[in-house]
Each structure stands twice: as structure tokens, then as C-alpha cells.
Structure 1
Amino acid sequence: MWAYTVGFTVLPHVGGFLGWFINRKETPVWYEKLKKPSWCPPRRMFPVAWTVLYTGMGYASYLIWNDLGGCSSKAIIPLGLYGAQLALNWAWPPFFFGARNLKMALIDILCLDSLAIGTVCSWYRINKVAALLMVPYLGWLAMATCLTIRIWKDNPEQKTGKSE
């Protein structure tokens, strides 16, 4: 059973790591040039935060999967919502850092917010601990959404994507 626990817990890290790995060279130069609000967290805080958040949400997804008896018909909506929001989570860095398309990154994160909230709501009746493990993620998403909106608004020359 431990293999499932580890697998579910590690899964969110896979896309997060790939997003970082693919964009790691361009990110510092381009990102530092963007106008950002004073409340923007320092860059070094992001990997720490995402490690904690991905671990919590991954373990929470394992709890839901386990409580619903695996990939049963009862698991389709709760785990489907989770998978969809995870896919949008993984899509954000390529939009923002890869394509430098702030508008698509904004659309992505707004859809991600809705799916993440839906995930937590669907999980709450199944396993309250799993739902509560997602609360820090929702908080971070709220900050990240506000940050994405501000960066999009404050960097109009960047709104159409890469331009160099």
C-alpha cells in the first residue's frame, strides 16, 4: 500500500519539476525584468512553497483514492476534478514563462482556481483531512492569481507573448 501513497504524493511534483526544468534558463532573466508588486514573494520562496503544496495535495489525493476504493465510479468526479486542476497547474509555467503569454497564463489560473475549489468541495464529504490539506494550496493559488493579474496589467508590452 505504501507504493500507492508514495506514487500519489510524488505525482504533482513531476509536472512541477518538468515546468521548472524546461523554463529554468529563461526564467531568471525575463522574470526579473517584469514589473511586479511589492508583495510579490521572493523567487527563492517558490520552490519551497510548491514542494510543500504538491506534497500535501498529492497525499490528499491518495486519501481520496483510498477512501473511494481506487478508481471506482465514485472516484470519477473527485479525482477527475483533481486531475483537471493538476493539468492546469502544470500548464501555467509553460504559458507564463515558456510562451511568455501573460493573458493565457491568466486564463489558465482562473480556470485552475475554479477546478481547485471544485476539487476541495467534492473532497470535503469524502475525507475532511484531504480537503483541509488542500486549503494552503487554495491560499497560495489566491495569491498567485492576484500576482498574475497584477503582472498582466502592469506589463502591457508582455501581454501578447514573447517579443525580443
Structure 2
Amino acid sequence: MAGKRSVAAQAAGLVGFLMLTAGAAALGSWATIPNIDSWYAGLRKPPWTPPNWLFGPAWTLLYLLMAVAAWRVWRRLDADPTARKSALACWGFQLALNAAWSWLFFGFQKPGLAFVELVSLWLLILATLVSFARIDRTAAALLAPYLLWVTYAGTLNGAIAWLN
């Protein structure tokens, strides 16, 4: 399964993917955290909006799952190299869109524009999940909670844009 990569190389790869996702999370947090108690608190929100404390643990788990999923695909040296590179490029692009959403919604305070971007993000997560499934079904399954959460987040984002 893991091909010819050493245990040390595989560990380094996992750390690398964890660092990439942590970097995206940190980048998004820079826009999000300063605006939660001020701008976001003043928005009209639907009654099914989760409490603010839930977002941190949910996203921590999702970023962890994203990193492990990408690592599993990266380590599959027995898979078609072009398919692997394409799948990982798709993963990287969705990670960038993930961080960009925080800046659009919280940083620039544009829920409508953030919603449009989130639709693109959702499609890219789906494409990543499908491309991962062709290489490693477990990796694809690890992305399923992320797709579900972004589906929910998209409805929340859309409702907030509509209400405000």
C-alpha cells in the first residue's frame, strides 16, 4: 500500500500535510477571530445557527481528516502518478479556497460573495473526494464529513447573506 517510502518519509509526509492544513486554518483564523464578537455577533442569523464554541472543534477535526486523507493519497505510490498528482492538486486548491472563504466572509464582511465562493469550494471538495476515491477509498471517506459540514455551512452562509 505505502510503496517504497520509508517510515520516516511517510511520517514526514504526514507532518507536512498536517502543517499545510494548520497553515490554512491559521490564515483563515486571522480573518475570523477578530470579527466573531463584533461584526458576526451583530448579524441576523437563522435559529439553527450552531453556538460559536462548536466551530473550533469541528474545524479542527475536519482539518485533521483533510490532512490524513491527502497523506493517504500521497503515499499510494502504486496508483497512477498523474491521477495522484491531479487529486492532490485538487486538494490543495480546495484548501486555498477554504482559507479564502474566511477572508471573504469575516475579513471583508461580504457574506454574499463568500456564499458564491463557497459553492465553488463545495464543488471542488466533491471533485477532490471523487478523485481520492479512485486512488484510496478510505481517503475519500475521510473527506465525507468535510463535504457534509460545508453543505451545512453553505446553507448557513446563504441564510446569513439573505437575512442581512
TM-score normalized by structure 2? 0.88
SS for the counterpart of 1:13 is helix
**Equivalent position of 1:86 in the other structure:** 95
Unaligned runs of 5+ in 2: 1-9
Deviations 1:97-141 (A, max 9, x none): 110011210111000000000100111121011000001101100
2 CA distance for matches of 1:67 and 1:41? Answer: 37
Deviations 1:19-72 (A, max 9, x none): 2134422331110111111111111110100000000011100000111469x4
Q: Report matched runs for 1:43-82 at 5 Å.
A: 43-68=52-77, 72-82=81-91
Give the total of aligned pairs. 155
**Equivalent position of 1:106 in the other structure:** 115
**Equivalent position of 1:5 in the other structure:** 14
How far off its partner does 1:75 sit? 2.2
**Equivalent position of 1:119 in the other structure:** 128
Query: Percent of aligned pairs with the same residue?
Result: 36
Tell me how large the CA RMSD over aligned residues is: 1.7
Unaligned runs of 5+ in 1: 156-164
2 CA distance for matches of 1:100 and 1:21? Answer: 13
Is 1:25 the counterpart of 2:20 in the alignment? no
CA contact (8 A) 1:9 1:56 kept: no
Alignment match of 2:154 (pick from 137, 145, 149): 145
2 CA distance for matches of 1:41 and 1:79? Answer: 31
Runs of 4+ in 1 over 4 A off after TM superposition: none
2 CA distance for matches of 1:50 and 1:14? Answer: 13
1 CA distance for matches of 2:108 and 2:151? Answer: 23
